Structure formats: structure tokens, C-alpha cells
């Protein structure tokens, strides 16, 4: 085997081929990832990982599915980070600055260290969208945080204890509910579904057995896409 790398998974040394992602390297080493991660029948963002290269002091955050292994890489996954999710009814709150102050007051304790942005696995400007949230600029916050997969790495590095992904989720919900213009095309399609126009097509899909899974895939891949 050529181009083998030495990596340390959870403190144990393994030799794995170069070019593998951290996730596939773990599987090569014998770990079985059967659920949790988005590409393993779970949720995208669940493969949050922290690593350090031997001989270096910097700690890195990444997603194991998209980061290649390096020589001397020490890896530890972060499958869950305790984000604070506040309870609210989107029908009862309004997109004003007070609602963010009420639900996530810790964002105003931000010290501007930018550790969240440096740690982001999606290379988002996290500190910037938190600043938008502080000012009640929810449309900008929603746009800036749109690609967040809620892995929690940013929050794991935050000295103020901010749950950045949950703040961003609230901003996107407020934006979608109250600020963004209504999508007429979507409303029309929902109405058609409620009227039963697609019931026959749905029934045809429902009766297909697992033996016809390839047929279903072909139907999806060759479907007519509206312009």
C-alpha cells in the first residue's frame, strides 16, 4: 500500500490511505457509521469533528465527510454539542429586536473574538450574522447563515456561550414567516395538493415495492423539471 498516512482516531493510531475523508478513514479503520450523519441515514452536520496535527498547537473544526486526512492528524468527533434552543410559537412572535433580546440575550455578550467564524465548518461569517441578529436585521441574518448545517462547532468555541445555529434558525423563521415575500407558485401548488389533483400519482408511488426502487430512482432522475 503506497501513500499511507498515520492518523490517530480517538487516541489510537491507524494507517489509512491518503486521499480519504476523515469519515471514510474511520470506516477503513473499522469503525461502523450506520446512522447519525446525513450521508449515513441521519442529519447533515452530525459529523462535526475537531482535530489537531501532531506538533502543532492549533485546534481545527471541520465536517468529517468533507475533510481529507493528513499525516499526524489527531481526530475526535463532536457528535453533539448542547445548544440552547428556546421555546417559542412562530405564530405569536414578531420580527422585532425585542424578541431576540428576550429569547437569546446572550448574543449581546459577544466579545467580538471571531472564534465562531474561524471555527465554522461551512466558512460562514458567523460573527457577522450574530451582529445582524443583535440589530434585528433578520433578512440579512437569514441570508448570511443560510448554509448553516447546525453542527455546533462555532458554539463549542464561543466564550459567551452563544448558540449561534439556533439564533440563525430563529432569524430564518422570522424572515420566512414575516419578511420574505410570499411565493405565489408555492401557494398554488399546495392548494392543488389539498384539492387532490396529485392523489393518483402519489398512490402509484405508494404501491411500488422495494423491488422497484430503481424504477422510482429512474422516475425521479428523468422527471420533467419546470423552468
For helices 164-174 and 126-134, the axis angle rounded to 10 degrees is 60
Left, alpha or beta for 183 (phi > 0: left; psi -120 to 50: alpha)? beta
Q: What residue ranges do the domains of the chain occupy?
A: 4-77, 97-179, 184-221
Quote the pLDDT of residue 210: 60
Predicted confidence band at 224 (pLDDT cuts at 50, 70, 90)? confident
**Tell me, what's the pLDDT at 160?**
94
Condensed to tens digits (0 to 9), the pLDDT of residues 141-179 reads 999 999 999 889 999 999 999 999 999 999 999 999 999
Q: Residue 195 carries which DSSP code?
A: T
From the options 3.10.20.740, 3.30.70.270, 3.40.50.1980, 3.30.565.10, give the CATH code of 4-77. Answer: 3.10.20.740
CA distance 128 to 134: 10
**Across 16-20, 30-34, 82-86, least confident range:** 30-34
| pLDDT value of position 95 | 94
pLDDT band at 46 (very low <50, low <70, confident <90, very high): confident
Please name which of 9, 35, 11 lies closest in space to residue 21, comparing C-alpha atoms.
9
Lowest-confidence range among 12-16, 116-120, 126-130, 185-189?
185-189
Mean local confidence (pLDDT), 87-93? 94
pLDDT per residue over 120-137, tens digit each?
989 999 999 999 999 999
Confidence bin at 35 (pLDDT 50/70/90): low
Amino acid at each position: 500500500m503506497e501513500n499511507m498516512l498515520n492518523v490517530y482516531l480517538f487516541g489510537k493510531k491507524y494507517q489509512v490511505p491518503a486521499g480519504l475523508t476523515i469519515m471514510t478513514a474511520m470506516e477503513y479503520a473499522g469503525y461502523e457509521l450506520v446512522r447519525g450523519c446525513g450521508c449515513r441515514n441521519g442529519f447533515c452536520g452530525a459529523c462535526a469533528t475537531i482535530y489537531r496535527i501532531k506538533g502543532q498547537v492549533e485546534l481545527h473544526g471541520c465536517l468529517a465527510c468533507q475533510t481529507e486526512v493528513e499525516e499526524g492528524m489527531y481526530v475526535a468527533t463532536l457528535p453533539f454539542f448542547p445548544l440552547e434552543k428556546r421555546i417559542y410559537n412562530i405564530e405569536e412572535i414578531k420580527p422585532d429586536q425585542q424578541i431576540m433580546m428576550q429569547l437569546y440575550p446572550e448574543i449581546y455578550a459577544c466579545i467580538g473574538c471571531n472564534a465562531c467564524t474561524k471555527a465554522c465548518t461551512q466558512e460562514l461569517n458567523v460573527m457577522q450574522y450574530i451582529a445582524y441578529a443583535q440589530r434585528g436585521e433578520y433578512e440579512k441574518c437569514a441570508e448570511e447563515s443560510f448554509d448553516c448545517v447546525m453542527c455546533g462547532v462555532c458554539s463549542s468555541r464561543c466564550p459567551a456561550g452563544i448558540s449561534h445555529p439556533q439564533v440563525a434558525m430563529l432569524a430564518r423563521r422570522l424572515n420566512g414567516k414575516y419578511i420574505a415575500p410570499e411565493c405565489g407558485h408555492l401557494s398554488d401548488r399546495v392548494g392543488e395538493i389539498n384539492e387532490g389533483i396529485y392523489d393518483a400519482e402519489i398512490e402509484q408511488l405508494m404501491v411500488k415495492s422495494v423491488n422497484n426502487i430503481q424504477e422510482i430512482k429512474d422516475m425521479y432522475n428523468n422527471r420533467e423539471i419546470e423552468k
